[in-house]
């Protein structure tokens, strides 16, 4: 599903050069739940952005879902994200002026689906995350956990193969964090998604198949997560 070969990414901050990624190679199978972990500034968010088609590497090859992202133009990258990737963010990032169901429906505006089909799919996605009855609420009327579940519904509504999440539990309490991680595991197990999250929440380890550690832009180690050890893999 995901193949990164010798990927490097450099930032300039003033006169300084920051090596966000240095010759990172990574392979993730289809239908895996993977956590990228590491301290702040380790390059894990950059790695996520690169494999989700948000950012381009300075060197190295990125292939996701059989597409070589290096070859794609900005617009093609946008189309790739629209079809293949679903995003979940730390601060949920719902559009405040739209209701929950309208937020979920938003990515479907990029498809040719009819109005009625769009609404139906959005409602289905909300059901999957257990918020079928909250569709008409505005984001500020929902709790943090509910908002994050709406965001997850939004990420799966296009039937994207790859779900990426940057610190999905970072702004949630323990109970909600567990629920979100469980929901992400369900996506991988019951819906066949590939899920990649960036987190430094140690609780995540027991839900994922694989934990990838980074520090200072370098991939340190890959080890199986709790889910793999418990033999959840289907």
In the complex, the residues that contact another protein under the rule CB under 8 A are: 45-46, 49, 52, 54-55, 74-75, 78-83, 85, 87, 89-91, 93, 95-98, 102, 106-107, 109-110, 115, 154, 166
Cβ-based nearer residue to another protein, 46 or 169:
46
Report in angstroms how near the CB of residue 11 gets to another protein at its nearest. Answer: 9
83 vs 216, beta carbon nearer another protein? 83
Nearer to another protein, 18 or 132 (CB): 18
- What is the closest distance, in whole angstroms, from the C-beta atom of residue 227 to another protein in the complex? 27
Q: Rounded to the nearest whole angstrom, what is the least distance from the CB of residue 215 to another protein in the complex? A: 18
Between 107 and 135, name the residue whose CB sits nearer to another protein: 107
Closest CA to 38 of 196, 232, 180, 212: 212
Residue the block writes with tokens 């939004």: 154
- Distance of closest approach, residue 78 Cβ to another protein, in angstroms: 5
The pairs formed by 177-186 with CB atoms below 8 angstroms and a separation of 24 or more are 177/201, 177/203, 178/203, 179/145, 179/149, 180/145, 180/148, 180/149, 180/152, 181/207, 182/207, 183/129, 183/149, 183/152, 184/33, 184/152, 185/33, 185/227, 185/232
| Closer residue to another protein (CB): 51 or 204 | 51
- Beta-carbon contacts of 70 under 8 Å, excluding residues fewer than 6 positions away, are 56, 57, 61, 62
Q: Which is nearer to another protein, 74 or 221 (CB)?
A: 74
* Closest CB 22 distance from another protein, rounded Å: 17
CA 175 to chain CA mean position, Å: 20
CB atoms within 10 A of CB 59: 13
Q: How far is the CB of 54 from another protein (least distance, A)?
A: 5
- State how far the Cα of 209 lies from the Cα of 185, in Å rounded to an integer: 9
CA gap 203, 73 in Å, rounded: 38
């Amino acid at each position: 599903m995901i193949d990164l070969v010798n990927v490097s990414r450099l930032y300039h901050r003033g006169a300084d050069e920051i090596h966000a990624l240095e010759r990172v190679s990574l392979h993730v199978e289809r239908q895996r739940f993977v956590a990228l972990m590491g301290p702040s500034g380790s390059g894990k968010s950059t790695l996520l952005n690169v494999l989700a088609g948000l950012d381009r590497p300075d060197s190295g090859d990125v292939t996701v879902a059989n597409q070589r992202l290096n070859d794609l133009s900005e617009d093609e990258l946008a189309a790739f994200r629209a079809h293949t990737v679903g995003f979940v963010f730390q601060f949920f990032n719902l559009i405040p002026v739209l209701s929950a169901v309208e937020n979920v429906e938003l990515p479907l505006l990029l498809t040719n689906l009819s109005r009625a089909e769009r609404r139906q799919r959005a409602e289905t996605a909300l059901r999957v995350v257990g918020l079928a009855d909250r569709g008409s609420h505005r984001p500020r009327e929902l709790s943090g956990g509910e908002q994050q579940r709406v965001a997850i519904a939004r990420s799966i509504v296009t039937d994207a193969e790859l779900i990426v999440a940057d610190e999905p539990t970072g702004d949630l309490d323990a109970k909600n964090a567990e629920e979100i991680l469980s929901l992400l595991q369900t996506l991988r197990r019951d819906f066949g998604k590939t899920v990649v999250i960036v987190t430094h929440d140690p609780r995540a380890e027991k839900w994922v198949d694989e934990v990838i550690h980074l520090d200072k832009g370098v991939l340190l180690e890959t080890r199986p997560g709790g889910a793999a050890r418990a033999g959840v893999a289907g």
